[in-house]
Amino acid sequence: MTTDISVSLAAQALASQPHRIVERGGVSFALLGTAHVSKTSVDAVRAAIASGEFDAVAIELDAGRLQSISDPDALARLDLIKVLREGKTHLFAANLALSAYQRRLAEQLDVEPGAELKAGAEEARRRELPLHLIDREVGLTFKRALHRLSWWGRTKISAGIMAAMLGDEEVGDEEIEKLKQGDLLEASFGEFATDNPALYDTVIAERDRYMATRLRQVAEQAPAGRDGEPYRVLAVVGAGHLQGLAEHLREDTAPPASVLAELEHLPKKSDIPWFTIALAVFLLCGFVWGFWQGGIDVGSDLIVQWVLATGLLGALGCAIAGGHPLSILAAFVSSPLTPLHPALASGTVSALVEATLRKPTYADFMALRDDVQSFRGWWKNRVARILLNFFLTSLGTAIGVWTGGLRMLGKLFG
């Protein structure tokens, strides 16, 4: 049930912020809705915990995001080659875009986005209170969002990530208002979420349910409260999650383990890579048709045109990214072949060669967040340049596939 919080030090601390009190399973949850760019929210969190009236603290973070805001050197320990080999380049870029967005906000508003969450973690540790990280891992949220998007939707997201990383303009007033009333991820991907209900559901609504389920787990494991009072948990979340979180916390009855399994599940991609098979069949049939109808000259010309269209454009993308000559060669060689392999991209091949030949230094990682704020910094920083290599080589190859395919159709039926 929902009740009013009694007049106390905790009540005074929460008074400046929207909040809900939900009691479930003998636990009283004080849901504190914060603005991610507000010093007032930071003060409210610190004051609430300092009141001594809470037995535990929960915050809207996952372990990875907590580490990134608590340990600035964590980025420097990243194994970039491992990221490339495991196909996590898009996720790394998404996190970097989010970091760049937060940096612009911090410089513009003189307050670190999410500072109230960091303050909650620091105060809980300082007072030796149990700290619960209740948000879903951002990479998992991003993966689930991509799975629900069309090819064009994923392309728009990739373009948005690149724009967010390359842009250095001030954050607009409308976006800042969203942050005061909503959620950092929603503001970051707000343009796409507005146009795509499936993306909104993954980024916002699913996380309401996920965080409520994590709090229900806290209730199941909570010890008895002090002096016969309920066990009290302060949950610090963005104001945009307050209503949905409270509703799920009050009303959901499904076992927490099953809900978390559902919301952490990644839908499997089709075991049959239809696009790759269709492309391979199209090329094979085109080459065979060319040799059959026009002899060696026409068939050989079709193969050469395919290799040049994909190879040259892939290599051009790598060259624009400032790739090493051997990376450019790798892009040229791999671009005609990787479109026929469902699990490999020419950008991955060229970026791996680039990362091997020009291995980023500790200084590159430490300077990454600052360097990506300027256009020139992308080509100066080796980490950023490897990301550019991946995206621009892949883009060049994709353009080459369509160009080469259209030219083949024109040759065969023209």
At 31-46, the pLDDT tens digits run: 998 876 678 888 899 9
| 72 and 193 in a common domain | yes
Q: Show the domain range for 339.
A: 274-413
User: Which residues of the chain are under the pLDDT cut of 50?
Assistant: 1-6, 190-192
Q: Which residues pair with 29 in a beta bridge?
A: 22, 233
* Single-letter amino acid code for the residue at 338: T
- Determine contact, residues 168/104, Cβ cutoff 8 Å: yes
| 245 and 364 in a common domain | no
Report how many domains make up the chain: 2
Q: What pLDDT was estimated at residue 224?
A: 78
For residue 269, being part of any structural domain is answered with: no
Q: What is the pTM of this model?
A: 0.70
Residue 414: half-sphere exposure toward Cβ, Cα within 13 Å:
9
Last residue of a domain, one of 205, 230, 263: 263
Q: Quick one: tokens of 228?
A: 């016969």
- Determine contact, residues 373/104, Cβ cutoff 8 Å: yes
| 300 and 204 in a common domain | no
Q: Radius of gyration of the chain from Cα atoms?
A: 25
Q: C-alpha angle 34/226/218, rounded to 5°?
A: 50
| 126 and 78 in a common domain | yes
For residue 309, being part of any structural domain is answered with: yes
Q: Is the dihedral of CA 61, 67, 68, 71 positive or negative?
A: positive
The C-alpha torsion from 365 through 107 and 176 to 39, rounded to 10°, is 110
pLDDT tens track for 263-286: 998 766 555 567 777 878 888 888
- Chain center to CA of 207: 14
Please state, in angstroms and rounded to a whole number, the distance separating the CA atoms of residues 37 and 204. 18
Please state, in angstroms and rounded to a whole number, the distance separating the CA atoms of residues 158 and 163. 9
Q: Quick one: tokens of 162?
A: 């690149």
Q: Quick one: tokens of 32?
A: 């504190």
Of 222, 237, 303, 236, nearest to 23 by C-alpha is 222
Of 179, 266, 252, 177, nearest to 211 by C-alpha is 252
Last residue of a domain, one of 216, 236, 263: 263
- Determine contact, residues 133/62, Cβ cutoff 8 Å: yes
For residue 2, being part of any structural domain is answered with: no
Q: What pLDDT was estimated at residue 295?
A: 80
- Determine contact, residues 262/18, Cβ cutoff 8 Å: no
Q: Phi, psi (5° rounding) for residue 208?
A: -60, -50
Q: What pLDDT was estimated at residue 169?
A: 57
| 211 and 113 in a common domain | yes
